[in-house]
Structure 1
């Protein structure tokens, strides 16, 4: 039985989708302030060493690696995912506010920041899984792509504005104030969730609840390994993650030391990348019109992202040309990745059975986190060994080669799946309306 026939009908209206958009957008806006304020607090206020700053960053990744699979398996047992999102916003607001208070009163320490990173990492993995489950409650599978595009565009736009404001806010009002803005953003997200209309709880079978945690966790891995298209899809997801993490570790030394980009122009490059991410998210909603195969769009989007990344190591020459090339080399991969990420949403939601959506999304996040960690560490080692520019070339070319070899069979497999799911389905007998459940 397909995921579409197993899933309950979506119950959200335009008003609820807008409020969900506000919840995600305000949270993304506030998170930028914390991400920028944390290293400032660590280095300027606490005198943290590079090793301690690395521990703070690693603490945010660790929960995904340790808790990702159990979190996904448990999410598949949740009948009211909005309640989980409400709890997560409450915990996040309390944690960030507590650290802001400790910073304002000179009570913070490196351990405090590590603890906050652990809390945020845990919230991120759980909310990342529950987000798609709740989105599936609000909209039908065919509408996932456009709604996901709208939400992602809002997040990119909020992140872009947040990056413009976070630095001046920290200078004018202090790092504690920046953290307070993030705490308030979680509260605004909480209010948006609480004011949404009640939705039908997800019917969970008793057999699903009795299933062992290990079996549930393994289900997500089997999804990617048991089907030719999904095996290829994993290559298209992991290869760009490894490459982008490796290149991200090398971008600052490459642009500032090798390409001699001035510090004032360095920020412009990443501002352009934020705008291109916003543009890609907005365009994806138009690309994912009914009748178009999101699987093929996902594959081509990730391939184009890797191909356009080859512009970055070409950076050089006069300043204007170097900045332009660097901006495109950093921004175009984000532009195409934004399209691919939006297209990936209806692929996962459409192909995964409703009772496996949490474990599958968690598996994907764990794979991505492990790939990102390995890519960042490998990129740094490779840069020290053969030089920064050659390392960027090598990482991008190897990742692009892996995707190019996988592209023809992956597109054929995607076409077969698209044709099979596009066939008309028999009408399903009506089901009684379940009792509505509030957040």
Structure 2
């Protein structure tokens, strides 16, 4: 008798969900290039361009805890629909304002903050939707497919965006992203799967466990800090997010000030595409790595490779070498990030998926806006190369922490078991 399939592709609802996410990611790949180009065109400032990247990730630091707890009380599908509509409206306002000649940096900054805030809620809902939709035995497959499809799009997307930005107003390119999110919202509004209309906190008898919001937040925080593997991977992720925020905030600036490109040069899209290519390779390699080696060794090696790549990036003025180094950095950083995500999804009870994952990402991603902001200030005063050297230093600190804590000895993914909900310490 053959073993049951563990491929998420066998789940019809997941295939539709994957297509919807792919559409939204395709739009996001365009904005990834167009938005910093628009900011740099409007301001000509490395600091303000990097601060834009900080604004997009700051909401995770501010809203991660309450968002996760709230989404664990709400219908996850409806959260995804509402957030997609919100993003569509916010992004659609940018080409309109630009066409009227009233677009300003404060509007761009506010849009980044609000879109980032909606992403926090959508992210919390997505973390719970995937295990609910495909079952725990298919979580690794589902996560890998999402990353693989998303990064395949993001390899081509920035190249396409670079061409579009070189021929069309950057704000109009962002308008295409707004359209993609609108279509995604309409499809999600009609999508159904087993449990899609059930709130995560619903009890077996049809009732619902009611607790204070603060208690729910504390419950998620206790789980993250109380599970040794989750705690270590989360805290170490701060170094990765500091470096990732710095690199993300400076890609356009690196192209202009270090590589001699124009802000609207199509080759700027290559820089983003190189990073996406590294992410794509990571998404293909990670499931196989998790089958063969421990999750701790994956994380430790990821920090080592990422640190070397960013350090070397700070010293080069070659476009070709910069492309290779950006690919290597994203390969390493994506590997250790997704490794941590899969570990959390596997060991976390369903009722805690939203708050545990947003709590962990709030802690780990908290460094991203700080890294982007600090990199912008340093780049504007001491130069881009020094900002990148500081980012490499953050990765080396995390690498040292992984070695001191013995993370390299953590087991393979298959050896990890979900924590029974009865054993979870409740907030009070």
Match of 2:78 among 83, 91, 104: 83
Aligned residues: 405
Which segment drifts farther, 192-201 or 131-140? 192-201
Return the alpha-carbon distance in structure 1 between the equivalents of residues 260 and 322 of structure 2: 9
Q: Is the 8 A contact 1:315 1:323 kept in 2?
A: no
After superposition, the Cα gap between the structure-2 partners of 1:205 and 1:268, relative to the gap in structure 1 and judged at 3 Å, is closer
User: Displacement, 1:318?
Assistant: 10
In structure 1, distance between residues paired with 2:89 and 2:32: 17
Match of 2:350 in 1: 354
SS, match of residue 155 in structure 2: helix
* Cα distance change of structure 1 residues 422 and 210 upon mapping to structure 2, 3 Å threshold: closer
| Alignment map for 1:92-107 (pairs within 5 Å) | 92-107=87-102
Q: Deviations over 1:257-315 (max 9, x none)?
A: 66x676677654543332221121122244445xx57xx33652453243343144346
Q: 2:167 aligns with which of 164, 172, 193?
A: 172
Report matched runs for 1:128-147 at 5 Å.
128-147=123-142
Aligned to 2:305: 307
Determine the structure 2 residue equivalent to 1:3: none
The whole-number CA distance in structure 2 between the counterparts of 1:63 and 1:180 is 22
Equivalences for 1:34-433 in 2 at 5 Å? 34-44=31-41, 56-78=52-74, 80-200=75-195, 201-205=198-202, 209-246=209-246, 268-289=270-291, 296-297=294-295, 299-301=297-299, 303-314=301-312, 322-379=318-375, 392-393=388-389, 395-397=391-393, 399-407=395-403, 409-412=406-409, 414-415=410-411, 419=415, 421=417
Residues 316/277 of structure 1: CA separation in 2 closer, same or farther (3 Å cut): closer
Which of the numbers 9, 12, 17 marks the counterpart of 1:15? 12
Spell out, residue by residue over 1:367-410, the C-alpha distance to the aligned partner (whole angstroms, 9 max, x if none): 23421223334445667898765664565356335434534622
Q: Find the aligned partners of 2:368 and 2:82 in 1 and give their Cα distance.
A: 28
Q: CA deviation at 1:316?
A: 9.7
Change (3 A) 1:130 1:15: same
Determine if contact 1:306/1:396 at 8 Å carries over to the other structure: no
Please say if residues 37 and 175 of structure 1, whose CA atoms lie closer than 8 Å, have aligned partners that are also in contact.
yes
Please list every run of 5 or more consecutive structure 1 residues that lacks an aligned counterpart in the other structure. Answer: 1-9, 426-439
Q: Note the alpha carbon deviations across 1:173-210, whole angstroms, 9 max, x for none.
A: 43343122112211232244244343222452469752
- 1:311 and 1:48 map into 2 onto residues whose CA distance is 27
SS state of the match for residue 415, structure 1? coil
- SS at structure 2 position matched to 1:210: coil
| Corresponding residue SS for 2:417 | helix
Contact 1:298/1:340, CA 8 A, preserved across alignment = no
With normalisation by structure 2, the TM-score equals 0.79
2:3 alignment partner in structure 1: none
CA 1:421 to 1:385, structure 2 compared with 1: closer, same or farther past 3 Å? same
Aligned partner (choices 21, 26, 33) of residue 29 of structure 1: 26
For 1:8-38, what per-residue CA distance to the aligned partner results, in whole angstroms no more than 9, with x for missing partners? xx99953222211111111111123234333
Distance, in Å, in 1 between the alignment partners of 2:25 and 2:415 is: 37
Provide the rounded CA distance (Å) in 2 between the counterparts of 1:345 and 1:183.
Answer: 27
The 1-side partners of 2:200 and 2:120 are apart by 23
Question: Is the 8 Å Cα contact of residues 129 and 361 (structure 1) preserved in structure 2?
Answer: yes
| 8 Å Cα contact 1:310/1:393 also seen in 2 | no
* Shift in Å, 1:154: 1.4
Structure 1 pair 323–419 and aligned structure 2 pair: CA distance change class (3 A): same
Question: How far is the alpha carbon of 1:127 from its aligned partner?
Answer: 0.7
Q: For the aligned residues, what is the CA RMSD? A: 3.8
Provide structure 2 residue ranges, at least 5 long, that are not aligned to the other structure.
Answer: 1-6, 421-428
* C-alpha distance 27-242 of structure 1, shift in aligned 2 (>3 A): same
Report SS of the residue matched to 2:406: helix
**Aligned in 2, Cα 1:162/1:267: closer, same or farther, shift over 3 Å?**
closer
Shift of 1:128: 0.9
